[in-house]
Amino acid sequence: MTEKVFADTNVVIYAESRHAKNSSAAVAILEVSPVISTQVVNETISVLTRKHGFALTDANQVALSLLDLCEVVPVDVQTVREAIRLGERYRLSIWDSLIVAAALLSDCETLYSEDMQDGQVFDERLKIVNPFK
């Protein structure tokens, strides 16, 4: 059985960027069809259009590709409740808490993100890995 991994929004953004080193690492992660949440899909559209100058139709195409490529889990009431618990326990922003909660509820062992502390472990079962370090 292969390890379940979760990809944060920054992985998707780097996969779409021209930053060669980070882009190739991000593409490699996406090629294993990681778990992502609906939050990642929505943030991708927002970041690509607002910060990277993508036309909305192009950003939407990236999002649709993610829906086909990845295992997409919803941010639902259970996820929000878990995020609140995690945020209080680990002092995370609500946005990071939602990502961690979705990864934990999906039984992922690794969360690829540059936004959280590399090597940190949540609930003794989810490790943060910064693939761009």
Domain locations along the chain: 5-129
Is the pLDDT score of 35 beyond 70? yes
pLDDT attached to residue 19: 79
pLDDT in tens, 87-113: 999 999 999 999 999 999 999 999 999
Q: With DSSP H G I counted as helix, E B as strand and the rest as coil, what are the percentages for the chain, rounded to 5?
A: 55, 15, 35
Which CATH number describes the domain made up of 5-129? 3.40.50.1010
Please compute the mean of the pLDDT values over residues 115-119 and round it to a whole number.
Answer: 96
Q: What is the pLDDT, as a whole number, of residue 2? A: 77
Supply the pLDDT for residue 1.
59
Confidence of residue 46 (pLDDT cuts 50, 70, 90): very high
The residues, any chain, with a CB within 8 Å of residue 106's CB and separated by 6 or more, are 4, 6, 35, 71, 73
- Count of alpha carbons within 13 Å of 94, Cβ hemisphere only? 5
* Interior angle at CA 35, CA 115 and CA 124, nearest 5: 65
Q: pLDDT band at 80, cuts 50/70/90?
A: very high
How many angstroms separate the CA atoms of 84 and 94, rounded?
7
